[in-house]
Each structure stands twice: as C-alpha cells, then as structure tokens.
Structure 1
Amino acid sequence: MGEDKCFIPKCEGTTPLDQALSSPNFPYYEHLRAQLCSYLPQNLIDQIDRCFFVADFAHKDQKRASGEPYIIHPIAVATVIAQLHLDVESIEAALLHDVVEDTMVTEQMIEDEFGANVRALVQGVTKLDKLRFQDYKEAQMENFRKMILAMTKDIRVILLKLADRTHNMRTLGALRPDKRIRIAKETLDVFVPIANRLGISEIRQELEELCMASIYPTRYRVLKAAVTRARNNRKEVVTSMLTAIKNRLKESNIEARVLGREKRLYSIYRKMVQKELQFSEIMDVYGFRIILKDVDTCYRVLGQMHNLFKPRPNGFKDYIAIPKLNGYQSLHTSLIGPHGVPIEVQIRTEFMDQMAARGVAAHWAYKESGSKAVSTASQKNAQDWIKNLIDLQQSAGSSLEFVEDVKTDLFPDSIFVFTPDGTIYNLPKGATPVDFAYALHTDIGHHCIGARVNHHVFPLSRSLQSGQSVEIITSSSACPNAIWLSTVVTSRARSSIRQYLKGLRSQECQLIGRRLLQNALRPTRIESLSEEQIKSIVENFNEPNIETLFTDIAMGNILTVAVVKFLDPDSHKHHELPVKGTGGMPFTYAQCCMPIPGDKIIAHIAQGRGIVIHNINCKNLRENERGPGKSLNVSWNLPVTANMDFKTSLFIELENRQGILSEISNAIDIAGSRIESINSDLKDEKTFLINLIITVRDRLHLAAVLRRVKAVPNVITIYRRR
C-alpha cells in the first residue's frame, strides 16, 4: 500500500494551479476551468486543479482511438457536468471516472486524496470489465444493474454516466461502423430514456441527434438539408411572426424573453416514422418560446397569443397544471401564422425553463446558489423513481429481470388519471387499475378486488385512458393474484406483487400451485399423479421435490402448460392447431423470425405473452430461455398447415429504376404470394433496400417466390430475415 500511495506525486511547495500549469495538456483544461470559475468559489477551484493534475498524471501515456491524449475525454465529461452547474465532487469524479479502470490509481488512493464521496461516485460509474460473464449481453446487464443501484445511493452517478456517454457519442467517428451502430442503439434504448425520465432535455436531445447520425447517416443528411431549405424559404415569415409576438407583449406591458425555436431533427424524423408522413407534411417545424417571471403571466400571454394568431383545434396542452412524468412544465399551443404557416408556441417561467433543460440536475445549481427552491417537481419525481428502483432490486431474481423492469419503467408515454377527490396520478401508457391501486399505496394494491372507472365497474386487466376517474374497491380478506403479473406495467406494482408472493407461507404457495396444476390437467385423462410421474416431473424440471415444483408454479416460474405437455405429449391431438405440442394452449408467431412450415421451431413461454413460436435458430432466444419450464418442443401439424398462409419477411437490395417495384410485385403475384406491407430505405445514392412482408404456404413456396424475384433485372440480392 505504501508504494501505491507514492504513485500520485505530491509536488510539495507548489500550488494546485502551478501543478496544473505544469501539464502540457493544460490548454485542454483551461476552458473548463474558466467555466467553473463562473459559479464555484476559489478554494473549490484549487481542489479541482489538483484533481486535474492527478488525472492527467494517471493518463499521461494513454491515447484515445483518435490519437489524441486520453485526458481530453475526462475533461470533456467534466465540461458537460459543469454546464449543468453540478457541485465540486461531481466535477472531480468526472475527471477521475476512468482512472481506476485504466490506470494504476486505486479507489483507496482516490478516497485518501479527494474523500469518500468522490470514491463512491467513481465506483458507481466504473464498468465491470474485470469480472467474468457468460456473454457480452450478460456483462452489459450487470453493468447497467450496478450503475442503477449506485444511482439509488447518489443520483449524481447517472448524471456522470450520461455526461460520459454524451462525449463518447460525440467522438464515435474513430470507431468501426458496426461498433458505432451498436453503441448508438444502446444509447437510444437505455440512456436517452433515462435522460428523459430525469427531465434533462439538453442531454436527451443531443444524444438523440448523435444516435440518429450514427444509425441512419443518410436519412440524417437528407433531413438536415430539407430543414435548412425550409428555414431559408420561411426566414422572412418567421422573422415577421417573432416581431409581431414581441410587439404584442410590449403593448400589453408584459416583460418576457422571446426565442425562436427550430424542431430537432430526431423529433421530426420520429414524427415522420410514427405518423407515416413526408417532410412536407410536418407542419410545426418552427416555433417560439416565451419565458416569463410567474405562472399567472403565462396564462395571460396564452390569451394574447390566441388573439394574435388563430389556434388550431386540439392544439393546446397544459403541462403546468398537469406536469409530465419527469416534472416538465410548460403551456403548449399550436397556432396558424401569416400565410397559413403553422407554429408552436411554448410559454413557461424562467424556473420552468431551467427545469426543462436540466431536470433533476438543476437541484445542484440552486443548492450551490444558496436558494431554498430545491424541492422541484423534477427532484420529487426522480426521488420517487429511485424508491421504485430500490423496491425492484429487492424483488428481482436476476440482473436480466431487474433491467427489464427498469426499462419498462422508462416509458416516455404516460397517461393521467384522477382519484374520486380529484387528485392527479401519472401512470405509464397501458397501466391498469391494479397499477393505479399500487400507485396509491401498497396495501391498497394488495387488497384490491375491483375498480370503478367513471362510476362504472371496470375490469382489473383493462388499460386505463387519460382523464378517467378511478375508484379502487378493496377487501381486507383479498390478496394479490399471480395472474396480475401478466397485465401490470409499472415496476412498482410488479415488484410489490412479487414481494408478496415470495413472502407467502410455503404451504399456501404449494396449495395454490397444486390447484393450478389440477385445473390444467382437468381436460386430459390424468386425474392424479403417480409416484413414478412425480419422480419424472421433478427430475425434468430440476426441482428437489414436488412441493418446490408447486411453489414455482404458484410464483409463475413454471407454467402449468409445460408440465401438462410433459405428462401428456399427445395433448395437442385434442385440438387441430397448425403447431403440435402446445397442449392446446393459444399461441402467437414471433415477429422477429417469422417461422413458416418447413422451419424447425421451438415454443418459448414468455411471461405476460403466453406461448410464442420461434424459429429454433432465432438469435432473440437466449440459452436460458430454452430449458424445461421455459420452452416446449413443438412441430408443424402439416395436414392443417397445407391450406394456410404464413407471413415472412424479405429484404431486397436493388438498383433503383422506373417500374422495378411494379415488376417485383408482379413476380410475387405470379408465384402465388401476396404483399402484406412494404418499406424502403436508401442504402446509398443508387441502391435501395426494400423490406417486404409476404404470405407463403411453406419453405418450398418461399423458394419459388425467391426465384421469381431474383429474375427481375436490377435486383442485386434477396434474403429472408432470420
């Protein structure tokens, strides 16, 4: 340990600034330092100067993939943190976040030099590369789990991770194309929703733009050029509207800041995809933001804007009275400007504008300035979310289960419903009365037996809609139902139900499991289980005894259909279904691999979705999802499938020319198939990639279709999605 402590030089007799100035990389640090001086006192700047010197010394021989000194990355991460006006510990952790992983500096050295809090922050951001995992995905799951759990102790961990990911996304150009796309997709799937959930729009919007540029570079360039053209064409109109708004506010003696606002490229792209619109059909590309001193003035200005320009029907949203799930507040109104140009106006206070940009991170800005206004909507929502995460961690059985629950909780879309006394609750889209019951209180959820929506009896499994009034009916003798796990969507409800079920007395679980299995066996000829059958079941499902099997059935870990199929392999004969071996249970075909007769198939028992038929080589099925209790061995019922059509997906790469799509459509028609849907994407200037969903009877029929399409001139290649 003595040697370790000597690794960080002390430089006795010099100031921290002298140490920083001695580094050849000081010019990279200078801009960050100037930014920090604008909001931190000098004694804290001295601490950060020392921290820069230590980080620079630790990384002195390292280079980034671009060939630049590695210290540029920690400085850039610290700069993002400084833009959010976070505290000194966050800045120090940003500068040191990679030293434990990539250098000889240890966590103990960091604590000795900069304190336990900085050590904890660095520890939370550090990846788990030194551990051994079965595969890359498992490693990613465990990294994500560790990051989220560290965040529950200190939310600054996730802010550091978002800043780290932001700079990595800015510098993706030095990586291979496949790695760029993988990192960008991971960012879009995980980090963008987290930034949105915490209300940090500055980071969320930049990450979305960077992800789009990496995943869809051609679409990004084309859309950017279209927005630039539209901006130039409407420049005079937009300027005149800005002047009109400012003049109207001046006439009304309303003090305000008015800003022109251009819709983000990713936001435009997402709207085009979701609503299947051309760019010319996107109306509100431009808008204005009016920033005021208080809430009352916001509503006054709304009236002024509706007098100045005509409002569009259904174009008004009041996020001040009913904030978004992440705490965002503002008035939004869509208007028709001069020459019929549609615009969106956002009206908010200065405080709301800061919350919209920085979300939960704004808490530290107010804390540092000495303001007492730290109990913001963003902060409260973030704290509630973190409490949910702690509950999830306690009830989750594995990293995979935990991560899936967290992702479920990151839904960007939400609804609002009312209690009978008018209190508003935000819930994810698709939430049921059971989700609402657990949102009110865990005990109300546990004892829920029914619901009334708008004074009418409402099924517990049906999704709620925005604006509904919900009343929960309870009974002291009621308890959670395992079936609820397949319908609830909030992590709080799911974790509470799991915790209750895990806490049931063993005898109760066994009794529930036994009854479930008896009910499932009723349609078969099996009335009671013999000792030999019990022994074979226990061995097949890797259970120590029949009691634990019943418990796992009650907990939803093993589905009764799997046990019935094992006991009665011919149970499918009672039902003439296209697939044999499902025990007569309903099933769906996986959309990822779209199996057709002739493919080798497997039935996956997906929690909440029932039985899903996959191609046996489908990459979306992990090894742990193929074992007993998680899957069934099935096969095609060929006499039944002979007269049926099945959907499958084809990708066609072609050189574009007039009439080629018509020829492809004609070839498919001649082959006895039909097109269900078609999508196209520009691969490069001359080549298009067409995605078709077509109907076929089996693999032989598909081969005939492929031969016909391959014969069409200018078709480069055609293949089926696996």
Structure 2
Amino acid sequence: MMRQYELVERVRRYNPDTNEDLLNRAYVFAMKAHGAQKRASGDPFFSHPLEVAAILTDLKLDDATIVSAVLHDTIEDTPTTRDQIDSMFGVEIGGLVDGLTKLNKLDFASKHAQQAENFRKLLLAIADDARVLLIKLADRLHNMRTLHYVPEAKRARIAQDTLDIYAPLAGRMGMQGMRGELEDLAFRYLMPDAYKLIMARLDELKAKNGALIARIAAELTDQFVRRGISVEVKGRQKQPYSIWRKMERNSIAFEQLSDIYGFRILVDTVADCYAAVGVAHTTWPSVPGRFKDYISTPKQNDYRSIHTTVIGPGSQRVELQIRTHDMHEIAEYGIAAHALYKDRRGRSDPIDAGESRAYRGLRQTIEALATDDSEKFLEHTKLELFQDQVFCFTPKGRLIALPRGATAIDFAYAVHTDVGNSAVGAKINGRIAPLISTLRNGDEVLIMRSERRTPPAAWESIVVTGRARAAIRRATREAAKAQYGGLGRQIVERA
C-alpha cells in the first residue's frame, strides 16, 4: 500500500509546487475514515483509493483531482458527510467527491431504477466537471485489475458494464490507452476462451516474427533519418479485444488479419508528418484505400494522426501511424492531456478541460438528454455515446460523428435540434435521398428544411441516436399540446 510520503513524492515529480499539506491531510482523513474496512481481496479498503490516486498521478493531474481520488469513497462507504468534506477540503473537492457518490439504495423501487439514476447523476456531474470522469475511469480501471477477487456471480455484470459504458467513455474522450486496457480486462472475463485463444496466437506470432518486426523498425528509422527527419519509431501490436471484434465484424479468421502489427512514427512538427508520408510512399509501395488524414480532419475525440499502409520489408503489409509527440500524448491520454502541467511551474490549477472538443461534445450530449427520465436517459446515452461511429460532413466541411447505422435524420439533429425538427429532405453526396437513408463514412450531407415542419412521431422509431429521439419526443409533445390548446380555445369560443 502506498505510503503517505510516496503519494506526495509522486505528485511532486511533475508539480514541484504541490500543496503537500492538502495531500497529507486527505491521506490521513481517508485512512481514518475507512478504518478496518476490507476489500474482497482481503486488502485494506484504503488501498483502493490510493491506487486510484496513483493512476491519476501517472496522468499528472492537479492537486484537487488527486485529493478527490483519495477521498472518493468516504461519503458513500463511511459516515463522512458532504459538509465535512466541504469544511475540511473546500467545496471544489466536495463537489468532485459528491459527483462520484452513489445514491441511497432505499430511495428506489428497483435495482435497475437505482442503477439508472446513479448513472444519470454521474454523467450530469461529469458534464459539470471533466475531472469527475477521470476519477471514475481510474476507479473502474483499478476495480477491473482486481476483478478476480470479486465473487464470480458479480464479475460478468461488472465486466459488461465496463465494456458497454466505461471503455467507450474513455475512447470517446480520446484516452485510448485506458480504453484498451478496460476492453481487454472485460473481454478476459466475458469471453475467457476467445481471450485465451487470441493471446496464445499473439504469443506464437511474436516468437515467429520478432526478428522481422525489429528489422522493419530499424529500416523505417534509417529511411527517415537519411531524409533528415528526426523520428522515434514505436512498434505496436493490436490488442486482443480489438482483434476479436474485427474477426467477428468481418467474419474472418486470425490468419486473415493483415494489420496485427503496426508502427507509430513520432516526429517533431506537423510538416515532418507530411514529409514522413512522402518518405514512406516513395520508399515502399502504398496500399490503395488505406490512407487517412486525421491531422487535417481530426476525429471528434481530438485524435490527430496520418494513417497509411505500405508493403514494407519482407513483402509485409505495414500499417503506419504518423504523428507529432504532442499528438501522441493526446491520442494516449485524451482529455487528461488537457490537464497536464506541461512544465507550468507554479501553476496548481488544471488547464481548462473546455479546450477539449471531445469533452465539449460529451457535455452537450448529456445536456440534450438530461430531460429524459433516468431509465430512458441510460438507454439513450448508451445509444448516443457507445456505438461504433461513422464520420460524415456538412457541405461546409464540419465533421459530424454518428453511431453506425445512423440516418440523415440523426445527422440533422446532430447539426442542431432546429435543423432536425424542420428537416424535409436530404442530399447525400449531391444526390437527393430519403431522410431515412443510412449514412456511410465520408458522406457529405445537406439537409433541406421547411420552417413549418413538425417532425413525425414515427421518426422516433427510425433514428438511432439518443439526442434525436429525445428531441423528436419533445417536439411531438409540444405540437400535441399546441394542438389541444387550440382545440380547447375553439370549444370555449363556440360555447
């Protein structure tokens, strides 16, 4: 278990001006509050919030986030009150801890209703402060790392929640490293046979191709350095869950996968990224249809990189991800990278998370769905946030990310609620198409509108995004009220 001085030292490494007194007081308070409580493993319960704090120090987060992680279970699992936290540590930390605290079981008629309302409370707290999400993801990550201690009956439910909610949330926020670990841990418990099989095949592949991978990395480095590009080449192996999902989606065997290994090319500047593409394509044949430029058009989660595939040494297909070091930091840590200190000595507050487009999009989605009751909120948020995505464009080039299977109606509501409510038709890639048309990656969509339009109630069963469903339901409800109100006035006037 991490000692008091070790916690302070971990923070001091990236923030020499950390508030040591605040960290020490939080450590002692939480240790006393949890007392003799134990985890399923038999370890002191207090070891869990310390591990959560340790994960967050690896992300170099601010003092308030680290202290809130240490305290995050005190209100829920001990007699500690919100007022006590506010009084001793301030309302900022009190708000973060409260946002992570589940509601009282006695207030709900069913387990499902309780889970739905807890999820609603958590997401509303996340919409208010992104640090709630960072602490919750770290909390879930440590719980998944120790899931083998939990009774078997509970493991599948926890793993499924992780795969359905927390891993996609991490991905939506651009935290690919955390998303990958959460997915693989959940995969291990939900499909143990498939997990073991893929791990065994990966081990065989590594033993067989280790020398070839080293040769490719060396040749890549040599070619870039010879052209005057300062470069760091990192080998990358696809993760087990990602491999399994691709096999399932495409109905292919492990042997048919051509991109299990790839390489990240880290350079200093954006200009170097494009120069590196030129080097790669003039040195090795490129594979048609495998070039994607996420630097000029970043993903919704702020991910920026150039992807290309070439036929490299040994006639092997080699997938390259070319990015700057800063882009790599964003790709790995996502929204957390917006709170890094970046050597800002003397600064103790995090960089505004509003800088992140990913967080801004999440907050807007949560706010759009917040009028639903808790169980619909849970259903619609899963639909909105946690599906594979397609990327489409407005005629002005604005990127709109939607769940796979989304229609032009979903697109209209993603642009703006008023656009969705007034939509009467669509042009997809310049051709007139029905609003119910399913969209594909890269589609350019123009929505045709009429201000006198009210969305048909039937649309609610056609759309796939929670935002669109909530907006359609609101609009049809308001239209019905207006209709009945007008009818009532006519009756009164005729009487």
Above 0.5 in TM-score?
A: yes
Q: Distance in 1 between matches of 2:159 and 2:4?
A: 27
Find 1:131's aligned residue among 106, 121, 127. 106
Q: Distance in 2 between matches of 1:378 and 1:320?
A: 17
* Structure 1 residue 290: Cα displacement: 0.8
Most deviating of 339-348 and 233-242? 339-348
* Structure 1 residue 376: Cα displacement: 8.5
Find 1:310's aligned residue among 253, 269, 285. 285
Find 2:152's aligned residue among 156, 170, 177. 177
* Structure 1 residue 377: Cα displacement: 9.6
**Structure with max Cα Rg:** 1
1:301 and 2:276 are equivalent in the alignment: yes
Residues 278 and 432 from structure 1, CA distance in 2 versus in 1: closer, same or farther, beyond 3 angstroms? Answer: closer
What's 1:385 paired with?
Answer: 362
Q: Which runs of 5+ in 1 are unaligned?
A: 1-24, 513-722
Return the letter of the residue paired with 1:179. Answer: K
| Contact 1:192–1:204 (Cα < 8 Å) also in 2 | yes
Aligned Cα root-mean-square deviation (Å): 2.4
Higher share of residues assigned helix: 2
Percent identity over the alignment is 39
1:56 and 2:31 are equivalent in the alignment: yes
1:622-641 to 2 correspondences below 5 Å: none
1:360-399 to 2 correspondences below 5 Å: 360-366=335-341, 369=344, 379-394=356-371, 396=372, 398-399=373-374
Q: Distance in 1 between matches of 2:216 and 2:354?
A: 33
| Contact 1:359–1:378 (Cα < 8 Å) also in 2 | no
DSSP-derived class of the 2:108 partner: coil
What's 2:180 paired with?
Answer: 205
Q: Distance in 2 between matches of 1:219 and 1:444?
A: 45
What's 2:141 paired with?
Answer: 166
What's 1:334 paired with?
Answer: 309
| Contact 1:195–1:203 (Cα < 8 Å) also in 2 | yes
| Contact 2:62–2:350 (Cα < 8 Å) also in 1 | no
Residues 467 and 276 from structure 1, CA distance in 2 versus in 1: closer, same or farther, beyond 3 angstroms? Answer: closer
1:103-142 to 2 correspondences below 5 Å: 103-142=78-117
| Contact 1:367–1:374 (Cα < 8 Å) also in 2 | no
1:583-662 to 2 correspondences below 5 Å: none
1:486-540 deviations in Å (ceiling 9; x for gaps): 222233332322232333362515899xxxxxxxxxxxxxxxxxxxxxxxxxxxx
Higher share of residues assigned strand: 1
Residues 144 and 408 from structure 1, CA distance in 2 versus in 1: closer, same or farther, beyond 3 angstroms? Answer: same
1:93-145 deviations in Å (ceiling 9; x for gaps): 10001111221221111111100011111111111244333332222111111
1:456 and 2:405 are equivalent in the alignment: no
* Structure 1 residue 76: Cα displacement: 0.4
Return the letter of the residue paired with 1:72. Answer: S
Please give the TM-score of this superposition, normalised by the length of structure 1.
0.64
What's 2:442 paired with?
Answer: 467
Q: What is the aligned length?
A: 485
Q: Which runs of 5+ in 2 are unaligned?
A: 488-495
1:448-527 to 2 correspondences below 5 Å: 448-504=423-479, 506-508=481-483
Return the letter of the residue paired with 2:362. Answer: W
What's 1:665 paired with?
Answer: none
DSSP-derived class of the 1:357 partner: helix
* Structure 1 residue 185: Cα displacement: 1.0
| Contact 2:60–2:341 (Cα < 8 Å) also in 1 | no
| Contact 1:327–1:377 (Cα < 8 Å) also in 2 | no
* Structure 1 residue 216: Cα displacement: 2.3
Residues 431 and 220 from structure 1, CA distance in 2 versus in 1: closer, same or farther, beyond 3 angstroms? Answer: closer
Higher relative contact order (CA 8 A, sep 6+): 2
What's 2:300 paired with?
Answer: 325
1:218 and 2:196 are equivalent in the alignment: no
1:276-324 deviations in Å (ceiling 9; x for gaps): 2222222222111111122121111012112233222322222222222
* Structure 1 residue 168: Cα displacement: 0.5
Please give the TM-score of this superposition, normalised by the length of structure 2.
0.92
* Structure 1 residue 150: Cα displacement: 1.1
1:230 and 2:205 are equivalent in the alignment: yes
Q: Distance in 2 between matches of 1:135 and 1:194?
A: 25
Q: Distance in 2 between matches of 1:176 and 1:482?
A: 45
Q: Distance in 1 between matches of 2:288 and 2:360?
A: 37
Residues 434 and 269 from structure 1, CA distance in 2 versus in 1: closer, same or farther, beyond 3 angstroms? Answer: closer
Q: Distance in 2 between matches of 1:235 and 1:377?
A: 43
Return the letter of the residue paired with 1:479. Answer: T
